Chains A and B, each alone.
Chain A
Amino acid sequence: MTQSRREALVAYLFISPWLFGLLLFLIGPILLSFYFSLTKYNLAQAPQWLGLANYERMLTDPFVGIALRVTGTYTLLAVPLGTIASLLIALLLNQKVAGIRVFRTIFYMPSLISGVAVAIVFSWLFSHRLGIINFILSRLGIQGPNWLGDPNVVLWTLVLMSLWGAGSGAVIFLAALQGVPQSLYEAAELDGAGAFRKFWHITIPLISPVIMFSVITGVIGTFQTFTISYLMTGGGPGYATLFYLLYLYRNAFNWFEMGYASALAWVLFVIILFFTLILLRTSSLWVYYESAGRER
């Protein structure tokens, strides 16, 4: 056996866990999911063929529209605001002042806490009459809203809560900021560029691949919001926080509509894929790649 053939064999051995995982946990289930979506399946009996009926049903199911609107609105608010917040925090943390490491830890701490603990803690903090947030606001002469009980406010409340975790994105932006060569700033200063121009014409273009990455993972994540709505609002008040994944979960695991839930999953899958591809396709318009000049 030649040296290179041996190396290739060894390499395939090394990547075999991932290859098996790809088949067992991804490709197999994706195909199975598509099959289920064409059937009526309640776990107890074998799947019954329905054709496209589940997808037709989605068109007339009013909750699908509600869930899409709730999830879409939340994504549209939480992703841009979260990205901006993370970037601003990263810019602050990139300042060379004493004690910056302490601040870095403080901003990152909330990111260590997620799901259940956040839901429980913020349910109390945002309590309409007894919560400390509205109490502080009232001391400042502001009448606080019914954060979790007002259908017009509750999505904003959840967006505000999501910003509490902006520190995790900030750490990634911070790493990107520190990768921008200092010489570029110095050259711009010689040309008389001010702080804002340096930020807009050097910082933003050079970290735009990281912004892109964070926006895409943000969109994928927020489209699949579940825990917070399941634990804090149960989809309410009314249907104001009926997130898509919550509705899908109820179909699958409360009502055992596995077929319909699979159709719901496939539609969300296609929607997320669509937005991801749009972001990737338009990236050449707003993302600066250092190597682009060489490749084209």
Chain B
Amino acid sequence: MAATTQSQPRPIYQTRHSLQRTARDTVGIVLVYALLIGFSVLFILPLLWTVSSSVKPIGSGMKFPPEFFPSQIVLDNYPQVFRMIPFARYFANSAFVSTLAVAGELLSASLVAFAFARLRFPGRNMLFLVLLSTMMLPGVVTMIPQFVIWRVLGLTNTYAPLTAGAFFGPAFSVFLLRQFFLTINLELDEAAKVDGANEFRIYWQIILPLAKPALATIGIFSFMGSWNDFMGPLIYLSDTDLYTLALGVNYLRSFRGGGELSYQMAAATMFVVPCIVLYFIAQRYIIQGIVTTGLKG
């Protein structure tokens, strides 16, 4: 088709039209890049400023005019943070809590989603509606009674209140995984059944391996939710040795010298690095996961 149009002489008006078109397209592309770059700068500057401030000398926060680039690079701010608060311990605490939450959420949500997507049982549609409506429930109403229950059980000041919920099929993750599972061909299950596989084997050996993008997406969201959670640890943890990093980074401010810009930015940088690293590792999956689960309902 392209060959035939090329071999024929083009009428003059068409060429002019297409010239106008390319001119307009060029203007469009320039405009798109201008907007993209302009907004990118706005979005990235606070991050760059955080990192650059983390290596500024002591007292930089009180200097006027403020500097964007450090006048002198001080790497010692980082070890200094480890000396002021038990940073390594808080990091380990957070890593433990978040890993447990991610594992619990992936396991429980995928089990529940598997049943909703691929098994037939009475009340399925009704229960799924209940699940959907719980997504709309604000957490505030359960906050106080949950605290009272954990307190009665003697489990405040442990990680149980921060991680238990993940093991009981958090609704949003169940919903996303179910949407993803629905896109997998049902004939796979039928074929496996003919070969004598039971439901659990189908779930474990067929569906889960195919659902890696969706699982990665949910895993990352769950990790970030847990890692960044401030209110949960604030309510449940009073022993400073048990603090998660979110509390610890804030705790730094109450120490002598903890008000220093450089220390705070060094702590903030180290706090966000795990999320950013994980995101880059799983980025390919995340975009794919969001696109395929569609979030369309």
Are the CB atoms of B120 and A11 closer together than 8 Å?
Answer: yes
Closest to B65 in A: A135
- Interface presence of B96 (CB below 8 A): no
A-side contacts of B112, CB under 8 Å: 14-15, 17-18
Are the CB atoms of A15 and B127 closer together than 8 Å?
Answer: yes
- Interface presence of A12 (CB below 8 A): yes
For the complex formed, measure the closest distance between the CB of B219 and the CB atoms of chain A, giving whole angstroms.
Answer: 14
Are the CB atoms of B230 and A103 closer together than 8 Å?
Answer: no
B-side contacts of A8, CB under 8 Å: 119-122
Report A217-249 CB contacts with B as 1/0, cut-off 8 Å. Answer: 000100110110011000000000000010011
**How big is the A interface, by class?**
35 or more
Cα separation A52 to B143 with both chains bound (whole Å): 21
Are the CB atoms of B47 and A14 closer together than 8 Å?
Answer: no
CB contact list, B255-285 vs A, under 8 A = 261, 264-265, 267-268, 271-272, 275-276, 279, 283
Stretch in B5-13, B14-22, B288-296 with 4+ CB within 8 Å of A = B288-296
Are the CB atoms of A121 and B145 closer together than 8 Å?
Answer: no
Cα separation A213 to B276 with both chains bound (whole Å): 26
Which of B44, B61, B66, B127 counts the most chain A CB atoms within 10 A?
A: B66
- Interface presence of A92 (CB below 8 A): yes
Are the CB atoms of B140 and A25 closer together than 8 Å?
Answer: no
- Interface presence of B144 (CB below 8 A): yes
A-side contacts of B58, CB under 8 Å: none
Cα separation A129 to B62 with both chains bound (whole Å): 10
Cα separation A114 to B225 with both chains bound (whole Å): 9
In terms of DSSP, what is the predominant structure of the interface of chain B?
Answer: helix
Are the CB atoms of B296 and A11 closer together than 8 Å?
Answer: no
Are the CB atoms of B40 and A107 closer together than 8 Å?
Answer: yes
B-side contacts of A248, CB under 8 Å: 140
Cα separation A131 to B35 with both chains bound (whole Å): 26
A-side contacts of B171, CB under 8 Å: 18
Report B220-257 CB contacts with A as 1/0, cut-off 8 Å. Answer: 00001000111100110000000000100110010000
Number of B residues whose C-beta is below 8 Å from A?
A: 91
Residue of B32, B164, B230, B253 touching A227 (CB-CB under 8 A): B230
Cα separation A269 to B44 with both chains bound (whole Å): 36
Are the CB atoms of A113 and B275 closer together than 8 Å?
Answer: yes
Report B122-146 CB contacts with A as 1/0, cut-off 8 Å. Answer: 1010010011001011111111111
- Interface presence of B46 (CB below 8 A): yes
| A→B interface (CB under 8 Å) | 4, 7-8, 10-12, 14-15, 17-18, 20-22, 24-26, 28-30, 32-33, 36, 43, 89, 92, 95, 97, 100, 103-110, 112-117, 120-122, 124-125, 129-132, 135, 164, 167, 171-172, 175-176, 178-179, 209-210, 213, 216, 220, 223-224, 226-227, 230-231, 245, 248-249, 252-253, 258, 261-262, 265-266, 268-269, 272-273, 276
Query: Can you name 21 A-B pairs with beta carbons within 8 Å?
Result: A11-B115, A11-B120, A11-B124, A14-B111, A17-B169, A18-B171, A22-B134, A28-B145, A29-B141, A89-B39, A104-B287, A108-B279, A117-B228, A132-B66, A135-B66, A164-B43, A209-B297, A213-B295, A226-B230, A248-B140, A262-B144
| B→A interface (CB under 8 Å) | 29, 32-33, 35-36, 39-40, 43-44, 46-47, 49-50, 53, 61-66, 68, 108, 111-112, 114-116, 119-122, 124, 127, 130-131, 134, 136-149, 151, 164-165, 167-169, 171, 174, 198-200, 203, 224, 228-231, 234-235, 246, 249-250, 253, 261, 264-265, 267-268, 271-272, 275-276, 279, 283, 287, 290-291, 294-297
- Apart from A17-B112, A25-B142, what are 6 other A-B pairs with CB-CB below 8 Å? A8-B119, A107-B39, A109-B279, A112-B272, A249-B231, A273-B138
